Amino acid sequence: MSLSIRAVQALALCGALLLSACAGPSKQDMYGGERPQQTTPQVEVQKKAETPRLSARRLAAIKEYGLEKAQPDKLVGLDGFEVEQALGTADFIRKDSGVEIWQYRANHCILDLFLYQNGAHLRVDHTELRGSLPKEKAAADCFNQIVMDLRP
C-alpha cells in the first residue's frame, strides 16, 4: 500500500476520533425529562403480578434523611453516598472542575443537585427543581415523585 493512501486513511481516522471526542450532552439529555423506557425480554412463564416496591434500604434512607413529603432543600449537606442511598442512581451526571451535577427525572420535572468537593466527599450545596422544558416550573408533587421512583 502506498504511503499516500496510508496517510489519507490515518487522517480520516484522526478526524473521526476528533469528532467523536467532541460529542457532549444534547439539549434533549439536559431538558428531556423523560427517561427512555427500558425494554426487557418477554418471559414465557406467567408470574404473579407484584406491586413494585422501593427496597428496604431506600425506604430506610428516605426516612433517615427526612425526605418523606419534604422539599429538595433537605438534600443540602448530604454527601453523594447518602443521596444515592435515598434517591438511587442519578439519571444524568455531569462532571466539571470541582463540581458534579446530578440530575433526577420524573414524568414532567427534573431535580438538579449541585455537589461540590468537601474534604474527601462530594456534598450537595444547591438544589434546583424545575419542569422538563426550559422556563417551566415543576409541579407541586414533583419532588415526591422523584423520591419514590423505583430507580436502582
> Shortest CA distance to 142 belongs to which of 116, 115, 105?
105
* Residue-range domains of the chain with CATH: 75-152 (3.30.1450)
Check residue 48 and give its pLDDT: 47
Dump pLDDT digits (tens) for 100-150. 999 999 888 899 999 998 888 899 999 999 988 877 888 778 888 888 876
Mean local confidence (pLDDT), 59-67: 74
Provide the strand spans (E) within 1-152: 92-96, 99-105, 109-118, 121-131
pLDDT > 80? residue 57: no
